[in-house]
Amino acid sequence: MARAEIFSGICGFTTIVEAQMKGSYCTLSIESEFEAIQRFSENLPEVDPFRKITFKGKGSLILQLAQKYCFHAVCPVPVGIIKALEIAAGLALPKNATIELSKSEE
């Protein structure tokens, strides 16, 4: 099983993703404080990680759902879900990815 804790930044919401392979499909458990992500997750109970993480063909179902449910184009939750899927499927090793943001006054 792979687990991702996603802290979305200034909005203050946290999302927990657990992904586990069951045969060729991955089951997802997504808990979020944010109602839009809760609705988003209802559409992802079980996915094929080899088809849902790519830009090829129709593209990633996860990113398509993000366009429908996420209010902000740079919401990190969809990418966190994809990273958890990759790890559960053995397509990536568990390593944190970070974006450090700052603003300087000129």
* Confidence (pLDDT) at 61: 82
Q: What is the mean pLDDT of residues 61-73?
A: 87
Give the separation between CA 14 and CA 20, rounded to whole angstroms.
Answer: 20
pTM recorded for the entire structure: 0.89
Coil, helix or strand at residue 61 = helix
Q: What is the mean pLDDT of residues 79-93?
A: 93
Q: How many domains does the chain have?
A: 1
Task: Read off the CATH number of the domain in which 32 is found.
Answer: 3.90.1010
**Mind giving me the DSSP string for 10-56?**
TT--EEEEEEEEETTEEEEEEEESSHHHHHHHTT-SEE-HHHHS-SS
Q: What is the mean pLDDT of residues 23-34?
A: 93
Does 19 fall in a domain?
yes
Tokens of 13: 């919401």
User: Residue 12's domain spans which residues?
Assistant: 2-88
| The pLDDT of residue 92 is above 80 | yes
